[in-house]
Structure 1
Amino acid sequence: MDLRTIFNSFGAREDYRQIIEEFNDFIKLYEMALLELQSDIEIIELEWQTRYEYSPFEHIKTRMKTPQSLHKKIERKGVPFTIEGIRDNIFDIVGLRIVTSFEDDVYKIYELLKGRNDLKIKRVKDYIKNPKPSGYKSLHLIVETELILSEGIRWVPAEIQIRTLAMDFFASTEHKLQYKYNTKELSQEMKDELFEVAQASSQLDEKMTKVRNTILID
């Protein structure tokens, strides 16, 4: 699906060239913001390694919603199909996922992000302390990252997810089962089995933290 098809599905005006140019300029702000956010996180990681000779970061992954994905979310939320409507209602056009080794590192990274002047944390959803019914765990942040442009400073929204390796394994597997294989609704038996996997992942996090803490004490 291209942008012209998406605009047409919302009954947008037919001077496609102008509206697509406007939309592309709007989206480029998010592309630049994602580069800025990724750079900031990489600097945090490098500073942590320099100071503590250790990094809580296992890996970092960025993503940007495709036009199709954005189209579906706009429809689902009933958002006006305008630049203003999208800007004021959709805050996860770009996202960054940080994967750590240990659960307490999730909150250490969160505290680091809270202390930055070039990042505003607007909303927090803690699915670690309050897991979803499926057993899914992760710390979700909606932030605004500072983007310094020639015409001035812009604050652009983004989503940051922070989770452990075990949480990431479960989340990725659940996503593949439910979405990648076109399964709209998992059976109760499959949900129960996935919940058991989530519990096992949590136990693994707890055991690894105990081992790490024992080593540090010794």
Structure 2
Amino acid sequence: MTGIGPERTDSPRRDPAGGGRAGGFALEDLRTKIGIVRDEFVDRHGYDPVEHVESWTAGAASSELAGIRITCGVNADVYRLRDLLAVRRDVRVVEARDYIRRAGPDGYRGLCLVVEVPVTRSDGVRAVRVEVQIRTGIMESWEFVATRLRTGFADHLPPEMLDELGVAAERARDLDSRIGALHRRMEDRIAGTQQEAPPA
């Protein structure tokens, strides 16, 4: 499980209507759509915002919600990617939880969407839910360590380790903010250079 807390549920959850093989089909389809979104992003902004894409799904006999985790370089790209995905007619966002603006109780920051993807089968079209987690590489590293700590201590971390985890989350947030500011300055500089360039 990934970072379960009283205000945070960004790990795979039960979905009686969408598990099993249908979840795998939905994941395959959604990965294709994300690839199209990445291409559109490159056309608009000149670079690919995605560092890594990872997906998961349960076995055919389970009803575990399928999921995709997308790692971006900066928070601004997390939101840009979300917007490009949300405007697609073949993807419907049914739930959004923004832990970037309001961190989870453990300090986690990221964006979590639950989307419905239409899957066509011989018995008709079925809307299958997929969880999409989008976060920065910095927060991905924090979450990797946090998950190992929770697993190692069976979700009963000593208070001093919980405190240190919170401090690390704040430092990760600060680093994300600084890198994001540098990235914005670079984008502004590129935009200014393009405006000053004489017509071809």
Which of the five TM-score ranges fits, normalised by the shorter chain? 0.7 to 0.9
CA deviations 1:43-77 (Å, max 9, x no partner) are 21123224432111111110113689x6xxxxxxx
Matches within 5 A, 1:127-138: 127-138=99-110
Higher relative contact order (CA 8 A, sep 6+): 2
Match of 1:47 among 19, 34, 40: 40
TM-superposed CA distance for 1:178, in Å, is 0.7
Matches within 5 A, 1:47-196: 47-65=40-58, 93-179=65-151, 181-196=152-167
Residue identity opposite 1:131 in structure 2: A
Please give the root-mean-square deviation of Cα atoms over the aligned residues, in Å.
2.1
Structure 1: how far apart are the matches of 2:60 and 2:153? 19
1:204 matches 2:175: yes
TM-score of the superposed pair, with normalisation by structure 2:
0.79
Cα distance 1:141–1:133, how it changes in 2: closer, same or farther (>3 A)?
same
**Identity within the alignment, %:** 30
Q: Contact 2:73 / 2:136 at 8 angstroms: preserved in 1?
A: yes
Question: Paired residues, what number?
Answer: 172
Residue identity opposite 1:186 in structure 2: L
Cα distance 1:128–1:183, how it changes in 2: closer, same or farther (>3 A)?
same
Structure 1 or 2, whichever has the larger Rg, is 1
TM-superposed CA distance for 1:182, in Å, is 4.7
Structure 1: how far apart are the matches of 2:90 and 2:60? 28
CA deviations 1:160-196 (Å, max 9, x no partner) are 00111111111111011111x2533001100010111
Structure 1: how far apart are the matches of 2:40 and 2:137? 22
Structure 1: how far apart are the matches of 2:188 and 2:115? 36
Q: Please list every run of 5 or more consecutive structure 1 residues that lacks an aligned counterpart in the other structure.
A: 1-22, 71-85, 87-91
> Which protein has the bigger helix share?
1
Matches within 5 A, 1:10-25: none
Q: Contact 2:23 / 2:66 at 8 angstroms: preserved in 1?
A: yes
Q: Contact 2:112 / 2:132 at 8 angstroms: preserved in 1?
A: yes
Cα distance 1:136–1:66, how it changes in 2: closer, same or farther (>3 A)?
farther
Structure 2: how far apart are the matches of 1:52 and 1:127? 25
Structure 2: how far apart are the matches of 1:185 and 1:165? 26
Cα distance 1:113–1:135, how it changes in 2: closer, same or farther (>3 A)?
same
